[in-house]
Amino acid sequence: MLCRLRLRFCSILKKADFYEKVHAKAMEYLAAGVKQVWVISPENRTITIYRSATNILAFPEDSELVSEDLFPGFRCHLSEVFKNPAQTAR
């Protein structure tokens, strides 16, 4: 089962993005009042959730993504998120 989730903002990293640039942008969104910033890295197969400058959680591909404070009951195994679309079509 593929996880589906509506987010108001989500950042997907590209190879050219540097950690400092992404971190600074996440801090900008948080300063503007966004409750969480989700950064998706297809290359590293991780999702990092920024809640504040000191509350940052990284979820690797073999973990379950949880965001109870914004989405009570939401759980999604990241292997589903990073699954190759060609594998799903089989």
Average pLDDT of each block of 10 consecutive residues along the chain (90 residues)?
48 66 88 89 88 93 88 87 67
- The residue extents of the domains of the chain are 11-84
Would the pTM count as exceeding 0.75? no
pLDDT at 55 (0 to 100): 95
Please give the sequence-ordered ranges of beta strands (E in DSSP) within 1-90, or none if there are none: 11-12, 37-41, 46-50, 56-60, 64-66, 75-77
Q: Which CATH superfamily is domain 11-84 in?
A: tt1808, chain A (3.90.1570.10)
pLDDT on residue 74: 85
As given in the structure block, the two tokens for residue 45 are: 């197969």
Q: What is the pLDDT of residue 89?
A: 53
Contact 68/74 with Cβ under 8 angstroms? Answer: yes
Q: How far is CA 72 from CA 34, 65, 88, in A?
A: 17, 12, 27
